[in-house]
Amino acid sequence: MSKHTDTLYADQHAWRQLQPYLPERLRLTDRTAPTEEFWPYRGHRVHLDRYANPDAPAKIVLHHGVGTNGRQMSLIVGAPLAQRGFETVALDNLGYGLTQVAPGTVPSYDDWVDLVVDFLAYEQSRDDRPIVLYGLSAGGMLTYHVAAKAPKGTLRGIVGMTFLDQRDQKVRDDTSHDKFISRVGAPVMHAFAATPAAKMRFPMTVASKMSALVNDRGALKVMTADRTSGGNWVPIKFLDSYLNYRPAVEPADFDACPILLTQPAEDRWSPLELSQPVLSRITKVPVTTVMLTNAGHYPIEEPGLQQMQDAIADFVTANTQSL
């Protein structure tokens, strides 16, 4: 790895500025921070936060949403679950975090799904330990899209902070910045996505209800000022493909693996009712919901954080033990 050209979280201030808003037990030091790696993929350099543990019985792969990044996943999920004996790895998908996108490429949401499917295959090529995929916010539905597309047996389970099907108009209305964006902006973007304008960038703070990303105003200011997470601008091509993505398998036919929803009880962006159009149709695998007391969309509050970490650890253990 050519460290002189790679930007690392070790040198970034944004996640350090977020730490005071977390419970003290979750604050990382230079000694307890994850190891940073880059995975070469189709000309991109995908940033990974990894807590390697060759003796761990299972791996948990962590995915951010459209207002977060991999380091923010390491803070609330990766580090505490690594302390419990799991191997965890948080990735920055194309256009987010510290991942370097190949010059001249304009990533779509479809590329996000393909990247995670291929990353899971890469992890399986390294060893045969079982893998569970976790996703926060938009990353929750991404875990579903990946599980639906990956070869059967790739995942032992998926965990989502929410499962949002953006093809549903109510979901789109409630998670967009406002109804003008969802009813007028989205169709306009769809038209632009087929033109050279597809590469134009749009601020996520205008596209989505980013004001509800985290319930603490100070933390929100930190996250929305961070161009690698809540303050990101994404191509119109990405937004359009995200809003209109069709899964390889619809929920009524999904049978890839068990599902856990860890739903923040004080989520002002995507409350429980917005996940129901997806989860209510899944009947071929177990679906479990755990409510996180006092927690917001990006949860920084107790006891919700502890409840989330306990629920994920129990879910992974139950679904990865040797048959």
Q: What is the pLDDT of residues 140-160, one digit of tens each?
A: 999 999 999 999 999 999 999
The pLDDT of residue 193 is: 86
Residue 268: give the domain boundaries: 9-165+248-320
Q: Does 220 map to a domain?
A: no
* Chain segment 199-227, per-residue pLDDT in tens: 999 889 988 999 999 999 999 999 999 99
Q: Does 68 map to a domain?
A: yes
Over residues 159-163, the mean pLDDT reads 97
The pLDDT of residue 147 is: 98
Residue with tokens 């003290």: 24
| Euclidean distance between CA atoms 181 and 162, whole angstroms | 21
Q: Using 50, 70 and 90 to split pLDDT, how confident is the model at 177?
A: confident
Q: Does 265 map to a domain?
A: yes
Give me the CATH number covering residue 30.
3.40.50.1820
pTM above 0.85, yes or no: yes
| Euclidean distance between CA atoms 65 and 85, whole angstroms | 25
Q: Does 170 map to a domain?
A: no
Q: Does 235 map to a domain?
A: no
Over residues 240-264, the mean pLDDT reads 97
Find the length of the chain. Answer: 323
Q: Does 26 map to a domain?
A: yes
Residue 1 has pLDDT above 50, yes or no: no
Q: Using 50, 70 and 90 to split pLDDT, how confident is the model at 322?
A: low
Please report which residue ranges of the chain form alpha helices under DSSP H: 14-18, 70-73, 79-83, 109-126, 138-149, 169-175, 179-180, 186-192, 204-207, 217-224, 236-243, 276-279, 304-320
Domains held by the chain: number: 1
| Euclidean distance between CA atoms 311 and 323, whole angstroms | 21
Q: Using 50, 70 and 90 to split pLDDT, how confident is the model at 50?
A: very high
